[in-house]
Amino acid sequence: MFEEIREQLTQAYKPKAMPDVRCALCPAQGRLIALHVIEFYHDASAATPTPFVPMSESRGTKRGSVPVCVDCAPACSTCGLPVATSWTRRMSDLLQATFGAITFRLGNGYCRHSHPILALLSRGKRVQLPTHTAASQS
């Protein structure tokens, strides 16, 4: 039974087509999107900015996910989960600095395998939010 639940969670964390959802970390459109790589929460009385996907609300807190495309968090060739790199963590920090009333953190939906080449490539990657995300700061 636990294996079945684990497999369902793993499938839910993998990137999938979400036509109406756009990556919050880059200007790319039409890519497969993963949720749960970066998650957020904030006061339920505040509106959730457009690029973010609200998922639940309880006890006065809204929780949700930051949509991340496969260009920003490529799928692992072993497990198919998105790979969170140091760049992903820096982007989460930038989101936190940009949207101060919202708390961001890495979620549970990313690969735990070692990816040294992706880690190396991510170090030089520019940390900047696309206009559609930065513009939704209010």
**Buried/exposed 43-76: b ≥16 CB within 10 Å, e otherwise:** eeeeebbebbbbeeeeeeebbbbbbbbbebbbbb
- pTM of the prediction? 0.88
Residue 37: closest CA among 98, 105, 101? 105
| Cα distance between residue 27 and residue 24, in whole Å | 8
pLDDT digits (tens, 9 = 90+) for 9-58: 889 899 999 998 999 999 888 899 999 999 999 999 999 998 899 999 99
Give domain status of residue 138, yes or no.
no
Q: Could you give the number of structural domains in the chain?
A: 1
Q: Which domain holds residue 124?
A: 2-130
Give a yes or no: residue 135 inside a domain: no
Q: Does some domain include residue 137?
A: no
